[in-house]
Amino acid sequence: MIDFTQMTIHGLRDLLKNGEITSVELVESLLARVDALDDKIKSFIRIDREAALAMAKESDCRRATNSELSPYDGIPIGIKDCICVKDDYVSCASQILEPVVSPYDSTAVSRLKAKGFIPFGRLNMDEFAMGSSCENSSFQKTANPFDLERVPGGSSGGSAASVAARLVPAALGSDTGGSIRQPAAFCGIVGVKPTYGLVSRYGLVAFASSLDQIGPMTLDVEDSAIILETIAGNDKMDSTSLPIENNTLDYSSIFSKLPDNLNGVKVGIPKEYFEADGLAPAVKQAALDAVEKLKKLGAEIVNIELPHTKYAVAVYYIIATAEASANLARFDGIRYGRRVEGKDLVDTYFASRGQGFGEEVQRRILLGTYVLSSGYYDAYYLKAQKVRTLIRRDFEKAAELCDVIFTPVTPDVAFKFGAKSDPLSMYLSDIFTIALNLSGNCGLSLPVALDSESGMPIGMQFIAPALQERKLFEVAGVFEKYGVGAKFAPAE
């Protein structure tokens, strides 16, 4: 029997190995759970049930003949709707891509399939990953499983909600400015934004190409390590993929010999993140309590500064919108997706894009086109690139003083639907996550407590220098086990 509250990938691996469950039973029970619970949560846009069950059957056959592809063969994983799975719909929760079927697998998905993981459903998101609440989806509003009146975060809100509600053991998300870590924090799960270039972007519908990364969203740190080592590595299909020898990445072996302390680990505490305007008292208290626990575990706390953090949101909304305006130019109603016929070609472009894109996406295309236009390029785009370098240097300097940095993920817990109706207040909810997309560092969001007033989860973020994911998993793994010591599940 599956205990859904404990449904980790490493737990399912052992159940499958010992013959206590089959992959078909697992997929069938998840589908039944989705039927029972997802009417209210609305995390999945669609699930190709037949395909998932067919893959589960194949997996069980492999296991019966001891030819499983890996210990994880037969485990389902949810996929954010901007990551391509061959022969399945890919819509980025946008009307303009209704209906488009992907002719190929993204590299991340093909690597998961090569280990026997089963892509399970398309998960809701903010349209083209632009947003922090999933309210920008053109299909449905996903609810936070901890409180159905609150948002799950975004843009990977469907991924976070489905994992938190135990509808699927893990999911892929994408993170351009916080879209994995923020919803993970809002829904009480673990999420990782890998080092830029560690995971191939091939088959990820581009939002802002110099920032986007695919990453895992899971119930615990070990599961994130398992997924990340599966999907990471060099890929000739992505020119920004880092030259890492494939099959050399090993993160999950840490967990068989995890230390019980953090002796000798230097943890940097950036004052800009602990004294930020708008930091809710409950989140600040949880952060300070967590720092005390880090100390108790033997970590050395180092006060550091990241002085250019205050420009991160402004820089991000110039660079990300500039890149988005170029990337989204390809959606013109001609080559694929939804076409609205106009009186001539240009009119068809206008009609298709005007009706196909939602309000937030249109806002960003306009903003991005503006900052790139002649006369404004130097004042905005070029300036933003220079400040981006300063932000990166902040992190490089910090790395001389500490092994990892520790911060809150979000200024407050998950908010209610409609609470952030003006775009700026929504943009400001990402102040703690955006800087490391600009710098390229890796970051992990880990649930540490429930807010006593609202009952909502609170997440903290560990940040490490580029390609130090192993360190990130080790420190977060020790802290999860000996500092937090609890998992957070919504009431059923």
| Interface residue list for ligand GLN (CB under 6 A) | 129-132, 155, 175-179, 207, 320, 430
* Beta carbon nearer to ligand GLN, 130 or 265: 130
Cβ–Cβ under 8 Å, residues 428 and 158:
no
* Beta carbon nearer to ligand GLN, 207 or 381: 207
Pick the catalytic residue: 106, 179, 241, 454?
179
Pick the catalytic residue: 42, 43, 59, 80?
80
Distance CA 104, CA 106 (A): 7
CB of 310 to ligand GLN, least distance (A): 17
CB of 131 to ligand GLN, least distance (A): 5
Confirm whether 471 is a catalytic residue.
no
* Beta carbon nearer to ligand GLN, 129 or 171: 129
Instruction: Look at residue 214 and give its three-state secondary structure.
Output: strand
Could you tell me the two tokens for 43? 């995390």
Confirm whether 155 is a catalytic residue.
yes
The number of residues in the chain equals 492
The sheet with strand 266-270 has its strands ordered as 44-46, 118-123, 76-80, 170-175, 213-218, 190-193, 442-450, 457-464, 404-408, 266-270, 300-304
* Beta carbon nearer to ligand GLN, 97 or 299: 97
CB of 208 to ligand GLN, least distance (A): 8
Strands (E) located in 299-456: 300-304, 404-408, 442-450
* Beta carbon nearer to ligand GLN, 421 or 452: 421
Instruction: Look at residue 406 and give its three-state secondary structure.
Output: strand
Pick the catalytic residue: 133, 155, 241, 429?
155
Query: Which residue's beta carbon is nearest to the bound ligand GLN?
Result: 179
CB of 437 to ligand GLN, least distance (A): 7
CB of 461 to ligand GLN, least distance (A): 14
The number of C-alpha atoms within 13 Å of 55 and in the hemisphere containing its C-beta is 22
Angstrom CA distances, 479 to 122, 186, 403, stand at 32, 19, 14
Instruction: Look at residue 133 and give its three-state secondary structure.
Output: coil
* Beta carbon nearer to ligand GLN, 176 or 252: 176
For residue 96, give every residue at least 6 positions away whose Cβ sits within 8 Å of its Cβ, in sequence order, or none.
Answer: 331, 333, 337, 338, 352, 353, 356, 357
Confirm whether 80 is a catalytic residue.
yes
Q: Rounded to 5 degrees, what are φ and ψ at 13?
A: -55, -45
- Centroid of chain to Cα 336: 27
CB of 160 to ligand GLN, least distance (A): 12
Q: Which residues are catalytic?
A: 80, 155, 179
